[in-house]
Amino acid sequence: MLQQSNVFNFVKEYESFSPHRTGGVGNGNVLSWLKNYLLSVGWNISSHEFNYKHYNSILDSDDSNFKGMLLYYSVIGKGRLSNPLYYSLSNSTKIETGTQLEDQNIITLIGKLTKNAIANANDCVVIESVSELGDLSAINSSSDLNINFPIILVDGRTYKKFMNKRLLLSYDAWINESKTFNILAKSYSYDEQSPLVITTPISGWFSCSGERGCGIAVALEVAKEVSKFYPVDLVFANAHELGYQGAYEFVADYQNIPMAVLHLGSCLANTDAEMISVCHSKNSKNIALHLSKLGIFPKPPANNRLKKYWAGEAKCWSSKNVPMLSIAGENAYFHTSADVAKSVTNEELLLNYVEYITKATLALISR
């Protein structure tokens, strides 16, 4: 296992490439950095390329303190805006399997808001999308959003200004047809039809040190430990914030039937994170015993083949119908620019996660 300082430094190094949106300079640097690191420690590396639509936008305001962004793919073209429909998400995005207001649920809500705005002759929807600390919180969306109406996400202070003072906005948004790739790292060089899959996303919003960096660090260490006993396919999925596109593209092309899947999602080893875990395994009691040391209590899915019963990118793997453990979380810094390493994690917590998730993973694949 890595020394404590190296685990934490790995998260900080990931942070240094910020921002991490798919297709950006930082994302490209992360892909190169991960490939070089994995090669240096003996993994067999391949790239899984896919096409995606890169969303570009410029949003200007007559208020120099305006803090906001267009929801990706909500609108294409240019325009001026002055008559919004207002809505506050506030603290409604807490995660809870089966009842959570997840990305797709939020997009459904935004669709309803758009219809109301058009009916009321509003020219845009302004959404207060904030963390518990009041910071602007981004929302994931995919290129098939199909709204074609300006959806503007703002922080708490900007939202209050909108409510008390008319603000004038202008936007310019366009799409470039682009390519990017996922990384597949194999711990073996022979033909293996049923490896353990360990998967974690690598892209996201702003610095996303706790949301993404911690998961990558934990995944690398767990994979190293488990690969001493079993063949491992370590998957780093790109385009997470674009509707999990990279993960869906990878699973569609992945021909193996895994012995099991370990999905490591957002905010692992984050202080004060609200964790969620879903587990489908005959060894669920042993898995739960190990994860309880981290304050994580997995629940079984009502139907393991249906993605609606899984969180995050575990949804993408549900069709494989194999034992699967998914762990993800949320904290006060989630999807905000305040998600930096020194605020969200520490060396001891990272190593605790590595230890007990490794034990839970070995229980997941034990016969």
184 and 224 share one domain:
yes
pLDDT above 70 coverage of the chain, percent: 95
What mean pLDDT comes out for the span 1-10? Answer: 68
Q: What is the CATH number of the domain that holds 64?
A: 3.50.30
76 and 15 share one domain:
no
197 and 139 share one domain:
no
Q: 182 pairs with which residues across the strands?
A: 48
71 and 98 share one domain:
yes
105 and 203 share one domain:
no
Can you give the pLDDT at residue 147? 92
What mean pLDDT comes out for the span 130-151? Answer: 91
What long-range pairs does 2-5 form, CB within 8 A, spacing at least 24? 2/221, 4/347, 4/348, 4/350, 4/351, 5/347
Dump pLDDT digits (tens) for 251-274.
999 999 999 999 999 999 999 999
The mean predicted confidence, pLDDT, of the chain is: 93
238 and 249 share one domain:
yes
225 and 339 share one domain:
yes
Q: 179 pairs with which residues across the strands?
A: 51
145 and 233 share one domain:
no
Number of independent structural domains in the chain: 2
61 and 103 share one domain:
yes
100 pLDDT above the threshold of 60: no
User: Is 266:212 a contact under the CB 8 Å cutoff?
Assistant: yes
- β 151-154/232-237 pair status: unpaired
Residues 232-257, buried b or exposed e (16+ Cβ, 10 A)? bbbbbbbbbbbbbbbbbbbbeebeee
Can you give the pLDDT at residue 106? 86
185 and 258 share one domain:
yes
Can you give the pLDDT at residue 130? 87
Can you give the pLDDT at residue 344? 95
Which pLDDT band holds residue 5 (cuts at 50, 70, 90)? low
262 and 226 share one domain:
yes
127 pLDDT above the threshold of 80: yes
21 pLDDT above the threshold of 90: yes
Can you give the pLDDT at residue 132? 82
The single residue listed with the structure tokens 């997009």 is: 107
The Cα 93–Cα 51 span in angstroms is 30
Can you give the pLDDT at residue 102? 58
Dump pLDDT digits (tens) for 317-340.
999 999 999 999 999 999 999 999
Can you give the pLDDT at residue 103? 66
pLDDT above 90 coverage of the chain, percent: 87
Which pLDDT band holds residue 146 (cuts at 50, 70, 90)? confident
Domain termination site, one of 137, 160, 175:
175
Domain termination site, one of 143, 175, 207:
175
For 23, other C-beta atoms within 10 Å of its C-beta total 20
183 and 171 share one domain:
no
Q: What is the CATH number of the domain that holds 198?
A: 3.40.630.10
Domain termination site, one of 128, 152, 175:
175
Domain containing 342 equals 4-52+179-365
Longest dimension (CA), the chain: 65
Residue of 232, 261, 219, 185 lying closest to 354 (CA atoms):
219
Residue of 203, 225, 280, 167 lying closest to 14 (CA atoms):
203
